[in-house]
């Protein structure tokens, strides 16, 4: 426990860093993912093509490569100076853009779980595409999307550690700072692992609760 109690300041700072990456990256991923997911089921061929190109390319790109591009290739292009906030913003963008593809795919497969008859009935009533989606399909898809979406966010939480390789303060990089203070790295990493196991268990518990509350009664 000494490793934690002696360095509470650093543990707090890195935990906050991880949570900022998680929530900001998650928010960006949700917004971008919903847009791309909607593009992929839209009646506009160009939008469908752009959406699937984006999803297929980024899903086949290692997250480390996305981070690499944002941390090393983008700053010289945009003339950015790598200070703390800039690095953090770039890391959030990298996480968001990467996770958005998984969000988009989850939403698309959620829409696919809604029985065809639902959309057909809505159209028979004369609803437009927007109304079919917002009034009939999405409310049902939302429920079946919850469990896989939580899995996406669990993966996002674990992926925040990649930012440690690109000088962004988070739980993955605490090893660096504490080894400078002469702490036992082995113990530090074991504690980081324990924290992540706890956080993931918390999220999977939330997943189960939400799943039970919003289960589709069919």
Partner 1 sequence: MSSVLYDVPGPRAIIRNRILGVITVVVVVAVLGFFVWRLVDTGQFTAAKWQAFTYTNVWVQIGLATLRTLGAFVVAAVGALIVGFVLAIGRLSAHRWLRYPVGGIVEVLRAIPVLVFMFLLYYGLPVIGIRMPSYWAVVIALIAYNGSVLAEVIRAGVESLPRGQSEAGYAIGLRKAGVMRLVLLPQAIRAMMPVIIAQLVVTLKDTALGFIITYPELLFYARFLGSQAVLSSPIVPATIVIGAIYIALCLLLSLVANTVEKRLRRSAKTGRVAGATQPVQEITDTQLIAAQKGLGKYDAQGL
Integer Cα distance of 23 and 163 in angstroms: 14
Q: Is 89 in the site for partner 1 (CB under 8 A)?
A: no
∠ Cα 181 185 190 (to 5°): 130
Q: Is 46 in the site for partner 1 (CB under 8 A)?
A: yes
- Nearer Cβ to partner 1 (89/151): 151
Q: Is 80 in the site for partner 1 (CB under 8 A)?
A: no
| Shortest distance (Å) from residue 139 CB to partner 1 | 14
Q: Is 20 in the site for partner 1 (CB under 8 A)?
A: no
| Shortest distance (Å) from residue 206 CB to partner 1 | 14
Among the listed ranges 19-27, 89-97, 157-165, 206-214, the one in contact with partner 1 (CB under 8 A) is 157-165
Residues binding partner 1: number (CB under 8 A):
59
Please give the residue ranges that form the binding site for partner 1 (CB under 8 A). Answer: 39-48, 50, 56-57, 59-65, 68-69, 72-73, 76-79, 111-112, 116, 119-120, 123, 129, 132-133, 137, 158-159, 161-162, 164-165, 172, 175, 179, 184-186, 188-190, 192-193, 196-197, 200-201
């Amino acid at each position: 426990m000494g490793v934690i109690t002696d360095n509470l300041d650093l543990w707090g700072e890195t935990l906050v860093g991880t949570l900022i990456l998680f929530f900001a990256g998650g928010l960006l991923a949700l917004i971008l993912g919903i847009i791309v997911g909607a593009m992929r089921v839209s009646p506009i061929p160009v939008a469908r093509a752009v959406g699937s190109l984006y999803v297929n390319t980024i899903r086949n790109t290692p997250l480390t490569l996305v981070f690499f591009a944002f941390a090393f290739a983008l700053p010289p292009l945009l003339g950015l100076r790598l200070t703390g906030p800039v690095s953090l913003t770039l890391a959030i963008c990298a996480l968001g853009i990467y996770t958005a593809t998984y969000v988009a795919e989850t939403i698309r497969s959620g829409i696919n779980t809604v029985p065809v008859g639902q959309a057909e009935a809505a159209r028979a009533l004369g609803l437009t595409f927007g109304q079919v989606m917002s009034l009939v399909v999405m409310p049902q898809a939302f429920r079946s999307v919850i469990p896989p979406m939580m899995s996406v966010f669990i993966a996002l939480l674990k992926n925040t550690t990649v930012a440690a390789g690109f000088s962004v303060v988070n739980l993955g990089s605490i090893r660096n700072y504490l080894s400078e203070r002469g702490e036992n790295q082995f113990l530090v990493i074991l504690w980081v692992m324990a924290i992540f196991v706890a956080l993931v268990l918390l999220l999977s518990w939330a997943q189960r609760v939400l799943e039970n509350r919003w289960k589709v009664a069919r």
